[in-house]
Amino acid sequence: MSYSSLFKKATRIFRSYLNISDDNDYKKNYQKNNENRNTKNNSEFNYSKNQESNNNSSNNTKNEQYYYEVLGLKYGASISDIKDAYKKLISQYHPDKVATLGPELQLLAQKKTKDINEAYQYFKKKLDFN
């Protein structure tokens, strides 16, 4: 794999992770995502605390919407759409595919793969498919 193709792959992974479409917005989006990550970490702690004490349907709906977003699907997607999105994303972010890239990209790919697998397992259990 050439240096330019590795760079393009790394750029694609960073852009998808940071939701960036233009290089000019990189710094702005990077700072915004850092703020969101800090807020998200605090809210995840509070959310997990609330999840243990209060397990109602609104939390399940929020999880479901999050899982649809992780897979890049619209709410109510079919089983075949879920499977196709899962296969596409796993092939793109699997840690073995980015093993030649730097450790930062490998960590991002591992996190993304974990999120993708979690979303797929949620739908697999909910919709009862193999």
Instruction: Tell me if the pTM is above 0.75.
Output: no
Q: Which residue has the higher pLDDT, 59 or 16?
A: 16
User: CB-based contacts of 106: which residues, under 8 Å, 6+ apart?
Assistant: 95, 98, 99
Query: Looking at residue 79, what is its pLDDT?
Result: 93
The domain 3-19+59-127 belongs to what CATH superfamily?
DnaJ domain (1.10.287.110)
Give the pLDDT confidence of 42-67 residue by residue, as tens digits. 554 444 444 444 444 455 556 889 99
Residue 5: pLDDT over 80: no
Q: For the chain, what are the domain ranges? A: 3-19+59-127
pLDDT at 50: 46
Please give the mean pLDDT across all residues of the chain.
75
Q: What is the pLDDT of residue 17?
A: 67
85-119 per-position pLDDT tens digit: 999 999 998 878 888 888 888 888 999 999 999 99
Q: Is the pLDDT of residue 22 over 60?
A: no
The CA distance from 18 to 34, in Å, is 10
Q: What is the mean pLDDT of residues 68-91?
A: 93
3-state SS assignment for residue 55:
coil
* Between residues 32 and 63, the one the model is more confident about: 63
Question: What are the two backbone dihedrals, phi and then psi, of residue 2, each rounded to the nearest 5 degrees?
Answer: -80, 165
